[in-house]
Amino acid sequence: MKLRARVPSAFAVLTLPVLALGACSSTDDSGAIAITASEKACQVGKAVLNAGATNFKVTNDGGDVTEVYVYADGDQVKGEVENVGPGTSRTFSADLTAGDYEVACKPGMKGDGIRTKIVVSGSGGKAMAIPNRTAAVNAMDYEYQGIDGMSFTKGDTVEFRMKNDAPGEKHEMEVFGPDGKLRGEVGPTKPGETGRVVVTLADSGSYRINCGIKDHSKKGMHGTFTVT
Ligand SMILES: [Cu+2]
């Protein structure tokens, strides 16, 4: 920002229309809750949010790539965005019901992150469905066990429990629907720990499971299951 102030004034005039355009095209962000992430801080624009579908706009003020998660109960991912480069912004949304949450900014896209508590109040948002099925998955370096052969019935609400049995690395488990859209995920889980996510399988078809950490998917951390 200081650098920009020293730019010759002719330049400043030239860039003004561009800035104005930028402001116009960002109307989608109006109402988005600002999250400012750096190596040392994870600032959330509001401490108390209204329940319902909520947009977040993450700005990375740090020097390293970052990712931001919204957690319920410490480990249930309600929304997230990855790969936010230094000096850039990305948005994500989360459907939040009344309760306590944590926003975690993870500089370098690792660790538990810098956590900021937020409170959501009001009657909006979809209450979390109560699972009628559970499914146990083991994560290894670098594969999943227990996914192949899993099948569910359309409309099932499944609690996926992923135990990380790997000696070395954290793993996660993203669940993508037949349309390729993320339906839910177990966030990065340390060796020896179990993460969970509840997903309602509203569509029939082939779902894909994937570890979003580094190149784990390429190394073999993926699988599919069927909903009929
Ligand atoms: Cu992994």
The answer as to whether 212 is a domain residue is yes
pLDDT at 16 (0 to 100): 42
Answer yes or no: is 42 within a domain.
yes
Q: What is the pLDDT of residue 175?
A: 95
Q: Which domain holds residue 69?
A: 31-121
Q: Which two tokens stand for residue 130?
A: 């109560």
**What pLDDT, in 10s, does the model give residues 171-210?**
999 999 999 999 999 988 889 989 888 899 999 999 999 9
138 and 223 housed in the same domain: yes
Q: How far is the CA of 80 from the centre of ligand 1 (A)?
A: 17
Pair 93, 59 in one domain? yes
The two three-digit tokens of residue 7, written as one number? 């730019």
What are the tokens at 205? 């078809």
Q: How far is the CA of 27 from the centre of ligand 1 (A)?
A: 36
Strand 157-164 versus strand 194-200 pairing type: antiparallel
Question: What's the pLDDT score for residue 29?
Answer: 56
Ligand 1 centroid from CA 11, angstroms: 47
Residue 216 Cα to ligand 1 middle (Å): 5
Determine the pLDDT at residue 31.
81
The two beta strands, 194-200 and 42-44, are unpaired
Residues with CB under 5 A from ligand 1 (ion): 171, 211, 213, 216, 221
Taking the CA of residue 214 as centre, how many other CA atoms within 13 Å lie in the half-sphere pointing to its CB? 9
- Is 23 part of any domain? no
| C-alpha of residue 227 to centroid of ligand 1, in Å | 24
71 preceded by a cis bond (ω within 30 of 0): no
For residue 8, being part of any structural domain is answered with: no
- Distance from the alpha carbon of residue 93 to the mean position of ligand 1, in angstroms: 24
Low-confidence ranges of the chain (pLDDT < 50): 1-28
Are 36 and 113 found together in one domain?
Answer: yes
Looking at residue 215, which CATH number applies to its domain?
2.60.40.420
- Predicted pLDDT at 30: 65
Q: Which of 201, 214, 188, 203 is nearest to 76 (CA)?
A: 188
Is 204 contained in some domain?
yes
Output the CA 182–ligand 1 centroid distance in Å: 17
Q: Which of 81, 100, 121 is the last residue of a domain?
A: 121
The tokens for 115 are: 């956590």
Distance 50 CA to ligand 1 centre (A): 34
| In a shared domain, residues 163 and 198 | yes
Give 57's contacts (C-beta < 8 A, 6+ positions apart). 29, 32, 33, 34, 35, 89, 90, 91
Q: How many domains does the chain have?
A: 2
42/73 same-domain check: yes
Answer whether residue 12 is part of any domain: no
Q: How far is the CA of 193 from the centre of ligand 1 (A)?
A: 13
Sign of the C-alpha dihedral computed for residues 78, 221, 195 and 206 taken in this order: positive
For residues 43 and 111, membership in a common domain is answered with: yes
